[in-house]
């Protein structure tokens, strides 16, 4: 299958590192690694039309699970783009975030590096959040959180990050930018009792530098 980037970019443009995944078939592609950060969750392809791949958390508050590149970081916070289509399944006490991470096992603000599109029931709107240098910054969009698929685009460079959702430019952030190497990830977290689910059906990442 052709990537969205290739459909919209001239063939004369020299490509840098990139990948894309439609989360189709009966198993997760080999470049992904499923991991439980806290608790014991699960994952698998969804046996339903247009629903892609599901990550499910454990059932204890603050449990989280994700898929990432097993800390193989082929992308760069200094210049990269991620496009993805995902949704939350659970409508209460859940947190979905997707984007680039330096270490997929570390989401502690003091040590972590990441840029994410965030869908969190503790907030009212989707947001663009980033962590770097031991501090974090978050910018809310005007799109209310929900449980339907949206197409997100994250663009990051050495100066700022930007977020589009469904083709609309909704947020820009230039504070607490991370640096160095990055990998794509999709994470689901529960904020209360009971397992929570999130689904992703497309992701594409590429370096621009």
Domain boundaries, the chain: 32-207
What confidence tens digit (pLDDT) does each residue in 20-50 have? 999 999 999 999 999 999 999 999 999 999 9
pTM: 0.93
What confidence tens digit (pLDDT) does each residue in 91-122 have? 999 999 999 999 998 999 999 999 999 999 99
Res 209: pLDDT: 86
User: What length is written for the chain?
Assistant: 209
Beta bridge partners of 119: 96
What confidence tens digit (pLDDT) does each residue in 115-159 have? 999 999 999 999 999 999 999 999 999 999 999 999 999 999 999
pLDDT band, very low/low/confident/very high, at 8 (cuts 50, 70, 90): low
Contact by Cβ (8 Å): 117, 98: yes
132-145 burial, b at 16+ Cβ within 10 Å, e below that, comes to: beeebebbebebeb
- CATH topology for 32-207? Jelly Rolls (2.60.120)
User: Where are the strands (E) in the chain, listed by range?
Assistant: 18-21, 33-38, 42-45, 53-56, 64-68, 75-76, 79-88, 94-101, 114-120, 125-132, 135-144, 150-157, 161-165, 168-173, 181-190, 197-207
Res 16: pLDDT: 83
């Amino acid at each position: 299958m052709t990537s969205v980037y290739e459909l919209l970019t001239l063939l004369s443009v020299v490509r840098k590192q990139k990948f894309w995944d439609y989360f189709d078939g009966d198993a997760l592609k080999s470049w992904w690694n499923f991991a439980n950060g806290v608790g014991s969750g699960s994952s698998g392809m969804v046996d339903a039309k247009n629903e892609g791949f599901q990550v499910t958390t454990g059932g204890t508050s603050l449990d989280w699970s994700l898929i990432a590149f097993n800390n193989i970081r082929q992308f760069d916070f200094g210049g990269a783009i991620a496009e993805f289509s995902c949704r939350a399944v659970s409508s209460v006490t859940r947190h979905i975030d997707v984007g680039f991470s330096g270490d997929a096992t570390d989401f502690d603000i003091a040590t972590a590096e990441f840029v994410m599109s965030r869908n969190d029931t503790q907030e009212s709107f989707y947001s663009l959040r980033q962590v770097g240098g031991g501090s974090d910054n978050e910018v809310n969009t005007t799109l209310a959180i929900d449980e339907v698929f949206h197409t997100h685009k994250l663009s990051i460079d050495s100066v700022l990050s930007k977020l589009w959702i469904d083709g609309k430019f909704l947020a820009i952030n230039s504070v607490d930018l991370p640096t160095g190497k990055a990998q794509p990830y999709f994470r689901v977290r529960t904020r209360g009792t009971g397992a929570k689910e999130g689904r992703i059906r497309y992701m594409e990442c590429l370096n621009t530098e």
